[in-house]
Structure 1
Amino acid sequence: MSGPGGREREVSWRKQKALQIHAALTSDPVNMQALRGAAVSEGGLLSQEIRRKAWPKLLNVNVFCLPPKPGPGIRYHHRDYNQVQMDVRRSLRRFPAGMRDTERSALQEQLADMILYALHSHPELHYYQGYHDIAVTLLLTAGVRLGTAMLCTLSMHHLRDFMDPTMDSTKHALNYLMPLIQCESAQLCDFLLRSEVGSIFALSWLITWYGHVLSNYQRVLRLYDFFLASHPLMPVYFAAQMVLSRERDVLRCDCDMPSVHQLLSHIPPDLPYEDLIARAQRLFHQHPPSELAWQAALQPRKSISISSFQSLQLSASQQRPDSVLRRQAQAEPPAVLPPARNPLLKLAVWGLSASLGAAALAVTQTALEWGPEVLLRLF
């Protein structure tokens, strides 16, 4: 939209959508269908303030029942400690430009604590390179405590297949890519198969939810809105649409693996992301995973991410709005602390601090307010 009239319509549209999201969040129970629809539709969830309220609902995370702030105590005892530290040190470009070194260092410490807390809490999970790209997006959006809670839930659902001890489940997810392209363009699919490029070019797209390959942070957030509200395989559908959108360029290049891989690995800065999201959504409805697995004769494999998705959606649909959860939290009797000599005292204090921290977060947000930026500094 251009000109004064266009800007006014843009502001009016954003206000209307923000009110619709607010109505979904304050409905009792939360109107998850409307909230998911807002996250998927044009513009996504609009702002960081709204995301801090909506993302936990999309993941069925209760902001009044957060884990304690991750501490350094578990760092040195986890099998993935060294790899996590190396990846976190390499994450400099994921932080806002111009951030002071001291702030960035503090956030990197929190990022490592988040990751190691999630892994320590769920020993069956195995760290993979790229996991930190997802964790840092949650940290920058929601702070360390809420980000940790969302990371734990996400790891047990959407990301679960990537966190097996082998890459078999990840490769199985990538196997959907060529059949999806085949559904839309047999010519392009045939070209890709003859080039023997495979699907490895899309690996980093999938396992980082594009956080590692996109330099525009707002686009990363827009995709996270989309993926958090969608089926675990939606990043593959989006990858298919990214490749399809470049069909002409692909068909013009040499039909060999190095040429095609180099072309597809480089993502142009001007892709029409809203259009690609809409197309990926439409492709999912036209060719759901169950249909593709049959048509493409994909090797049957039990996917924890897919099998647990329906239960996550069901539990999320029963959520109460934050205003109700806040009253429930305030009505709970105060915890009785054990005597100081009891070795469980420290654990109990951590738990109490977690409850108070979550309550403080929610109390500072009225039913008509999206949390102010300063809240990020509280966690």
Structure 2
Amino acid sequence: MSGTSGVHEKARGWEAARDALVDAAVAAHDEDTLRRLSAMPGGFGSRPARCRAWLELLHVDRLRSASVSPDTTRFATPDTDAETVVYTPHRDEEQVLLDTRRAFVTYPRDVSSDAKAEMQEDLQALICAVLQRHPALHYFQGFHDIATVLYLTLLSRVPRPREGATATDREEWDTLVRATEVVALSRVRDGMGKDLGAMMGMLKLLRRVLAAADPGLYRISASISPVPTLPFFALSWILTLFSHDVDTLAPVQRIFDYLIARNPISAIYLAVAILMSKKRQMLKLAAALGPEARLDPSLLHPLFQRLPPLYADTPEEPRPPPDFHPPEHGAKYDEPNPYAPIALSGIFQLADKLQAKHPFDGSRIRAHEVLGPGSVVRTYARELGDSLNHNSELDDGEMDEKAALKGWTLADAEACIDKDVVLPGGSELDDDDETVPWPDRLGELARSQRVVTALTLGVLFLGVGAALYRSSGRYRLAGLWASYVRRDMSWARAYFGHYVRYVPALRDL
């Protein structure tokens, strides 16, 4: 590997045994075993075994692209192939360029500026290749973080050699492009439509899972949110498969092990598991903030939004060593992480237990009332093809179409973009949580906090608006966002109402 000797570690003792298990499962197309291995300490083991497992679980060989016809056969992006196809440039490529120029800041480490520039060119070529093949996709800021993880994992040499590329180099690049296509169309497609309405539906489901799993923690999260009950602090987690919020590669790869092996809905269960795993630490940090945190619950928003250091535990190192510290160089945050590290395998086990206890198609979570038949959550079963019997979310009508489902292609997935992704009302608040009672008397609290709250609301509004900004240069969810805060109340009434609910909720814990 040129330029990034620290990205792919040498094989360790336990990896040989794990790799053998992964290879046997891949050879047998045994996705149940791969799913079980993905949650174990060490995940899929070495980089080569991880690649084989990801490609098997993404069904890259089976899901062949039926994309638009190329414009020419002349090469126009920084690829090493002498001949390839050229597609019409995608409308979002300018925004992609802005993001790829900021890529590879936190990892890999010890990369020269020239190598980093070439890696950024590779990432630009990768994302644009996917967007050009599927022009109906809309790029979202943060997809480059997902592509970065795939790029650093599925290529054995990064940056790609500009001269002397081998047949293996070209084959790996082609596989990387196809894998990224599958991730875009079959894992995060709901976030690549014209707006993020489907992601609002996912946040709604996350809220339901948290309410079912930990009512006390849910009450606090609902109280600190600027929009009643929707946990916007977790938006980037589920939108980017946590890749935007983790500063090191190993834990992100382990998270991808877990998520790629499961229905895309698993991201919300993983988010809830992380919240529950850091709950004790978070409450201690909240208590350390003193009386101000009780008067202004918005101060807890960063504690909810910040992920703890996620430790990529292995069979040989199940717990973080005493000298373990998250990296500080190039971190996405200005302040050090206030949390102690948490081992990932324990979080994965909790997420699986939550999904078993509160299934998304059950009577408590009711995902089918929120997400339509065009959502990745609903079409995931179609992608599985021969593995239909493993998916409880299929109803009788879908089972009757078994023969048709086996022919599922990426063209079918592309046809689902912006089509019946979220049901009417699915992105709105639940009826029992739409309004926050306005107290008759707020006393000194309302008067003393009026100015501070107004400023806080302004910052929160701009912050969430920035998070929802899309590559077209418009705030696609501005109207949707504003509609939440206008419904049946003014901003002031909604926010002051949180104070009334927040203090007893914190005390109940």
Match for residue 118 of structure 1 among 130, 134, 139 = 130
Alpha-carbon contact 1:70-1:145 (below 8 Å) kept: no
Match for residue 222 of structure 1 among 245, 254, 271 = 254
Structure 1 partner of 2:350: 279
Alpha-carbon contact 1:58-1:316 (below 8 Å) kept: no
SS at structure 1 position matched to 2:362:
helix
**Are 2:64 and 1:36 equivalent residues in the alignment?**
no
**Structure 2: 5+ residue runs without aligned partners?**
1-10, 68-72, 78-84, 156-172, 287-292, 310-340, 389-509
User: In 2, distance between residues paired with 1:69 and 1:207?
Assistant: 34
Q: Deviations over 1:151-179 (max 9, x none)?
A: 10111111110111011001111112221
Q: CA RMSD in A?
A: 3.0
Q: Deviations over 1:27-58 (max 9, x none)?
A: 3xx22222232223332101211112221111
Alpha-carbon contact 2:373-2:379 (below 8 Å) kept: no
Alpha-carbon contact 1:205-1:211 (below 8 Å) kept: yes
> Greater CA deviation, 293-302 or 75-84?
293-302
Match for residue 199 of structure 2 among 170, 182, 185 = 170
Alpha-carbon contact 2:142-2:240 (below 8 Å) kept: yes
**Structure 1: 5+ residue runs without aligned partners?**
1-9, 318-379
User: In 2, distance between residues paired with 1:225 and 1:69?
Assistant: 36
User: In 1, distance between residues paired with 2:387 and 2:208?
Assistant: 31
1:165 is matched by which residue type in structure 2?
A: K
SS at structure 1 position matched to 2:109:
coil
State the TM-score, normalizing by the size of structure 1.
0.73
Q: Deviations over 1:153-206 (max 9, x none)?
A: 111111110111011001111112221112222111122223335411111111
User: In 2, distance between residues paired with 1:288 and 1:138?
Assistant: 29
**Greater RCO between the two (CA within 8 Å, min separation 6)?**
1
> Greater CA deviation, 175-184 or 218-227?
175-184
Alpha-carbon contact 2:225-2:231 (below 8 Å) kept: no
2:38 is matched by which residue type in structure 1?
A: A
Alpha-carbon contact 1:169-1:303 (below 8 Å) kept: no
Alpha-carbon offset, residue 70 of structure 1 = 8.1
The structure with the greater share of residues assigned to helix is: 1
Alpha-carbon contact 2:243-2:252 (below 8 Å) kept: yes
Structure 2 partner of 1:210: 242
User: In 2, distance between residues paired with 1:162 and 1:314?
Assistant: 23
Alpha-carbon contact 2:23-2:52 (below 8 Å) kept: no
Q: Deviations over 1:221-256 (max 9, x none)?
A: 000000000110111111111111222344452254
User: In 2, distance between residues paired with 1:19 and 1:97?
Assistant: 30
**Are 2:187 and 1:158 equivalent residues in the alignment?**
yes
User: In 1, distance between residues paired with 2:269 and 2:364?
Assistant: 14
> Greater CA deviation, 84-93 or 301-310?
301-310
State the TM-score, normalizing by the size of structure 2.
0.55
Alpha-carbon offset, residue 268 of structure 1 = 2.4
Change (3 A) 1:308 1:295: closer
Match for residue 127 of structure 1 among 119, 125, 139 = 139
Alignment of 1:331-342 (within 5 A): none
Alpha-carbon offset, residue 140 of structure 1 = 1.0
Alpha-carbon offset, residue 76 of structure 1 = 8.0
2:238 is matched by which residue type in structure 1?
A: L
Alignment of 1:190-209 (within 5 A): 190-196=219-225, 198-209=230-241
The number of equivalent residue pairs is: 307
Structure 2 partner of 1:261: 301
User: In 1, distance between residues paired with 2:75 and 2:265?
Assistant: 30
User: In 1, distance between residues paired with 2:215 and 2:64?
Assistant: 50
Alignment of 1:299-310 (within 5 A): 299=370, 301-310=372-381
Task: Work out which of the two has the higher radius of gyration on C-alpha atoms and give 1 or 2.
Answer: 2
User: In 2, distance between residues paired with 1:303 and 1:120?
Assistant: 22
User: In 2, distance between residues paired with 1:207 and 1:107?
Assistant: 23
SS at structure 1 position matched to 2:145:
helix
Structure 2 partner of 1:52: 51
Alpha-carbon contact 1:175-1:298 (below 8 Å) kept: no
SS at structure 2 position matched to 1:176:
helix
Change (3 A) 1:19 1:296: closer
Structure 1 partner of 2:218: 189
Structure 2 partner of 1:136: 148
